[in-house]
């Protein structure tokens, strides 16, 4: 559209809108290349969710081909959703690195990264809708499509509630959450991605209600175990970023409660709510957690949760899912 002469702009605008009535058709790859830059350059994970999907097929005796488009669609949807949420999480947590690389918002700016993270959620949903609309075997009736979109909307809202609670405790209320509230939070925040995956899997493969309830409970267990493990590793083997962020993670909750059992105040709590923390503050918290055996207890708990999951669901040693779960145990390679 040539607008060098402003007096013809209204007519040129009318012609442009008449020639391009469908807005989505005007969006080019060039447009998307720029706004998706943070997402395109995101470092992907280790494929745990994909392996978990395959393990569920084995567990439920579902025969599939390696290139089954239903599995590929679920995996891609959850991967885009997960990567998009991490772009936003890193901004909310003021994180510095993600998988040993500078966080996306540091590389591309907060505005573009935030927009990209939000866009990714809708992109994943749009790809899911497109798959259902063009699926050749007509597996998805209008009612099933509607149910699936309700599931996606519900669980994405849960993800935001879980993340929001953690931020609220850290930045606004400064109140130490009760253990049950912490579990509820990570069930929404961390188990949420696995719950979406499992619920889509159940719809795509017509899983009966009893099996669906069972695998949903399994996803809750795994998500909770994974977050408690991640909380431990952040403080025990990494840079203790959770302390700098003021996050009430699982070892921190245990440490604060341990101190309050013996005193009316908690040194760990006072460090966690400080706006600016020094290296000495971080070292003091880590030392207190070691002295009170919180790290040892946390480590034992993670391993016992994994053992409990295997026993509760009666996973035999030969099951692929059994091997996948055992890898969540700490020091598993040395056992």
Query: Is 60 exceeded by the pLDDT of residue 1?
Result: no
Residue with structure tokens 């493969």?
Answer: 205
Lowest mean pLDDT among 5-14, 90-99, 308-317: 5-14
CA distance 58 to 266: 48
Query: Is 90 exceeded by the pLDDT of residue 41?
Result: no
Query: Is 70 exceeded by the pLDDT of residue 334?
Result: no
Residue with structure tokens 């889509």?
Answer: 200
Residue 217 within any structural domain of the chain: yes
State the average pLDDT over residues 233-238: 86
Residue 67 within any structural domain of the chain: no
Query: What pTM, to 2 d.p., does this model score?
Result: 0.89
State the average pLDDT over residues 72-101: 92
Query: Is 90 exceeded by the pLDDT of residue 255?
Result: yes
Residues in the chain: 335
Question: With contact defined as beta carbons under 8 Å apart, do 169 and 177 qualify?
Answer: yes
What are the angstrom distances between the C-alpha of 54 and each of 61, 198, 334? 11, 11, 26
CA distance 153 to 43: 26
Query: Is 60 exceeded by the pLDDT of residue 81?
Result: yes
Res. 98 pLDDT band, cuts 50 70 90: confident
Residue 5 within any structural domain of the chain: no
Vertex 99 angle, CA 156 and 85, to 5°? 15
Residue 134 within any structural domain of the chain: no
Residue 83 within any structural domain of the chain: no
Q: The domain spanning residue 213 has which CATH number?
A: 1.10.600.10
**pLDDT value of position 314:** 92
Res. 302 pLDDT band, cuts 50 70 90: very high
Q: Give tens-digit pLDDT for 256-301.
A: 999 999 888 999 999 999 989 999 999 999 999 999 999 999 999 9
**pLDDT value of position 8:** 83
Residue 108 within any structural domain of the chain: no
Whole-angstrom distance between the N-terminal and C-terminal Cα of the chain? 69
**pLDDT value of position 335:** 47
Question: With contact defined as beta carbons under 8 Å apart, do 315 and 321 qualify?
Answer: yes
**pLDDT value of position 99:** 82
**pLDDT value of position 52:** 92
Query: Is 70 exceeded by the pLDDT of residue 45?
Result: no
**pLDDT value of position 43:** 66
Mean pLDDT of the chain: 91
**pLDDT value of position 135:** 84
**pLDDT value of position 3:** 59
Residue 94 within any structural domain of the chain: no
Phi, psi for 96 (deg, rounded to 5): -105, -35
Range of the domain at 270: 141-334
What are the angstrom distances between the C-alpha of 29 and each of 32, 35, 58, 83? 5, 10, 39, 20
Phi, psi for 263 (deg, rounded to 5): -155, 170
Residue with structure tokens 């013809």?
Answer: 8
- Give the count of domains, the chain: 1
Question: With contact defined as beta carbons under 8 Å apart, do 321 and 54 qualify?
Answer: no
**pLDDT value of position 117:** 96
CA distance 12 to 237: 62
Residue 98 within any structural domain of the chain: no
Q: Give tens-digit pLDDT for 134-175.
A: 988 788 999 999 999 999 999 999 999 999 999 999 999 999
Q: Give tens-digit pLDDT for 169-218.
A: 999 999 999 999 999 999 999 999 999 999 999 999 999 999 999 999 99
**DSSP letters spanning 192-222:** HHHHHHHHHHHHHTT--HHHHHHHHHHHHHH
């Amino acid at each position: 559209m040539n607008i060098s002469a402003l007096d013809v702009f209204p007519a040129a605008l009318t012609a442009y809108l008449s020639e391009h009535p469908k807005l989505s058709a005007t969006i080019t790859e060039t447009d998307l290349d720029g706004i998706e830059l943070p997402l395109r350059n995101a470092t992907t994970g280790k494929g745990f969710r994909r392996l978990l999907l395959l393990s569920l097929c084995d567990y439920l005796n579902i025969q599939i081909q390696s290139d089954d488009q239903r599995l590929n669609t679920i995996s891609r949807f959850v991967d885009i959703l997960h990567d998009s949420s991490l772009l936003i999480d890193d901004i909310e947590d003021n994180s510095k690195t993600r998988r040993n690389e500078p966080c996306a918002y540091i590389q591309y700016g907060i505005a573009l990264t935030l927009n990209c993270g939000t866009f990714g959620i809708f992109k994943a949903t749009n790809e899911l809708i497109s798959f259902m609309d063009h699926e050749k075997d007509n597996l998805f009736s209008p009612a099933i499509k509607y149910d699936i979109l309700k599931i996606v909307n519900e669980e994405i809202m849960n993800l935001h509630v879980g993340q929001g609670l953690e931020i609220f405790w850290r930045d606004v209320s400064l109140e130490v959450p009760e253990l049950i509230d912490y579990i509820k939070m990570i069930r929404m925040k961390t188990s949420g991605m696995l719950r979406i995956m499992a619920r889509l899997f159940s719809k795509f493969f017509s899983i009966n209600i009893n099996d669906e309830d069972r695998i949903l409970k399994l996803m809750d267990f795994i998500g909770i175990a994974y977050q408690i493990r991640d909380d431990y590793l952040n403080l025990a083997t990494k840079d203790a970023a959770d302390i700098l962020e003021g996050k009430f993670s699982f070892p921190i909750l245990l440490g604060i409660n341990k101190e309050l059992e013996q005193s009316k105040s908690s040194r760990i709590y006072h460090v966690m709510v400080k706006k600016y923390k020094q290296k000495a503050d971080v070292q003091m918290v880590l030392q207190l957690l070691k002295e009170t055996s919180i790290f040892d207890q946390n480590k034992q708990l993670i391993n016992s949760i994994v053992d409990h999951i295997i026993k509760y669901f009666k996973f035999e040693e030969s099951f692929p899912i059994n091997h996948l779960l055992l890898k969540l145990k700490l020091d598993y390679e040395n056992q």
